[in-house]
Amino acid sequence: MRPRDVVVVDGVRTAFGRAGEKGCFWLTRADDMAVRVIRELMRRNPEVSPEMVEENVWGATTQIGDQGMTLGRTSALLAGLPESCSGFSVDRMCAGGLTAVTTAASEIAMGACDVAIAGGVEHMGRHPMGSQADPNPRFMTEKLVSEDALVMGKTAENLHDLFPEITKEMADEYAVHAQAKTAKAYAEGKIQKMIVPMTVYTKEGWIVADRDQQPRPETTMEGLATLKTPFRVQGKVTPGNSSGLNDGASAVLLMSAEKAAELGVKGGLKLTGYAYAGVRPEIMGYGPIPATKKALKNTGLSMEDIGLIELNEAFAVQAIIFMKEFGLKFPDDERLNPLGGAIAFGHPLAASGPRLVIHLLNQFAERPELRYGMTTMCVGLGQGATAIWERA
């Protein structure tokens, strides 16, 4: 049998809060964030009855506590989906949510189900990356990987070493543009419609979390120049040209193109192809480059065919290397992250991949001239993830 076409019908996310006690989700469970997103997807798409959803796939990097117990299954039950809806969890660190999306899409393509929800959630305040992990000592004693691989900021400094022409000033300039684009997108109301408000309890009482906490529209080159470089003395990586530590959840609703036609539902994006690739763990930010080359080869496309690129900006240097490799204009190519990226929104690990898809989906709805788009990201411990999408 030939694989079926798979379309993204809708996508939504929570606001992204700061990790830690000052974050809006500090006293909120991770699984409750996932449940809020699932329920909103169902509310927004009444043509899809709960009984139609056959699979619920969630990415989470730290699968313990309220992110454990096979979150895909537990969140389906908590959200009111029927017992017939199966579910499971995946972990590919930063690309866990994107892996959930491509895995669910593959199930649909192969006829294992017709309708699925796929997302990612991360409560980095409650579960910092690597929390309770126990890496095999052979990694260090046998020098299988550099110690830098376990500290993401050090991997970014290593990228600066590999590409010394990318200066700290260039990274800061990229970050200023990223913050400005996000501020403009908020001012135009483009971000708010992607966020489901969530009433949460905080130390100050009940509030409605409906806006990302991470963006800093006041960012300037002068301000960034004063920030410390915590990962290396006289380094180039700072909190200002990096993504933040965040809490949040995001998900998309997927179905076969035939099912969408049967329901009279408009699919916004069709999955054309995807690829994952590995690189040396200590330069994990290089990962999107081989993953993108592999995805383009698999689909027979070139970067010239791609009208819009949603790249997760773990670090500015990683984004600039990607731009240089594929001939994008520095510091602000019109095809790259028009609404801003993770330097402004934050990066709640597994929740970031579906956010990229949601951004792409909404921009395709506004720009009928677009045919192909891409979502791509680097992954901790040395991987890259890229998915290519076509207008459905």
Residues that are catalytic: 94, 347, 378
Beta strands 86-90 and 55-59: pairing type?
parallel
**Cβ contact 14:209 at 8 Å:** yes
* DSSP per-residue letters across 119-130: EEEEETTTS-TT
Spatial CA neighbour of 211 closest among 4, 2, 9, 17? 17
- Calpha distance 95→154 (Å, rounded): 19
Q: List Cβ neighbours of 371 (8 Å cut-off, separation of 6 or more).
A: 305, 307, 390, 391
C-alpha distance from residue 390 to each of 38, 98, 131, 241, 361 (Å) = 24, 16, 38, 31, 10
Q: What does residue 38 show for φ and ψ, rounded to 5 degrees?
A: -60, -45
**Helix H or strand E segment including 202:** strand 198-202
Q: Treating both helix axes as pointing N-terminal to C-terminal, what angle do 152-162 and 316-325 enclose, rounded to 10 degrees? A: 40
**Cβ contact 212:132 at 8 Å:** no
